[in-house]
């Protein structure tokens, strides 16, 4: 880690975004990856979980990049039904 000033989770998030998330939200960001597989980097110092403003910004940037490229997965059955319906239409039109 390069030199980054560490703050309690909600303080670092407030400094980076101007918003104050609930503490449980901030803890969840550090403990479980979000739907894009990204976790907020944090450190435990003296029994307290801390992060940096820079880590919050990296987390937000990575989540935004992943969300911009996000394509929802389609389950096989719905994709198969769509494919079959399209094939019926094409066959009906003689294609």
Tens digit of pLDDT for each residue in 17-43?
999 999 999 999 999 999 999 999 999
| E-strand stretches of 3-45 | 6-8, 43-45
Say if residue 51's pLDDT is above 60.
yes
Euclidean distance between CA atoms 76 and 15, whole angstroms: 44
pTM over 0.75: no
**Residue 8, beta-bridge partner list:** 50
Q: List the chain domain ranges.
A: 6-92
Token representation of residue 14: 């407030």
Assign 94 to helix, strand or coil.
coil
Euclidean distance between CA atoms 82 and 86, whole angstroms: 6
Tens digit of pLDDT for each residue in 73-86?
555 666 677 778 88
Share of the chain above pLDDT 90, in %: 67
Token representation of residue 40: 């907020």
């Amino acid at each position: 880690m390069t030199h980054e000033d560490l703050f309690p989770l909600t303080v670092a998030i407030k400094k980076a975004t101007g918003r104050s998330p609930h503490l449980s939200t901030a803890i969840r960001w550090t403990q479980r990856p979000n739907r894009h597989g990204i976790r907020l980097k944090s450190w435990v110092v003296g029994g307290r979980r801390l992060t940096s403003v820079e880590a919050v910004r990296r987390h937000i940037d990575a989540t935004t990049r992943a969300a911009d490229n996000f394509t929802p997965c389609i389950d096989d059955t719905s994709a198969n039904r769509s494919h079959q319906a399209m094939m019926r239409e094409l066959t009906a039109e003689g294609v």
